[in-house]
Amino acid sequence: MKHLLCELWSNNQGQDIAEYAVMLAVILVIVVGTIQLIGSNANTVFSNTVSSIQ
């Protein structure tokens, strides 16, 4: 494992660790924002459905 981490750290081709971390952070922000938006809209739809049934 140590060898793999050293290899990844010293490899200068392609993306480095910092770029992967930035990409992961952007993806997480998008996913969390989408889940919150869908959750909020789903709650509204279910509330409207329940109130129309009653």
- pLDDT tens, residue by residue, 4-53: 667 766 655 666 788 888 999 999 999 999 988 888 788 888 888 888 88
More confident residue, 2 or 25: 25
Its pTM stands at 0.52
Residue 22 in tokens: 């930035």
- Answer positive or negative: Cα dihedral of 7, 12, 22, 26: negative
15-23: long-range contacts (C-beta < 8 A, 24 or more apart)?
none
The answer to whether residues 21 and 29 touch, using CB atoms and an 8 Å cutoff, is: no
Rounded Cα gap, residues 3 and 25, in angstroms:
26
- At residue 15, the pLDDT reads 64
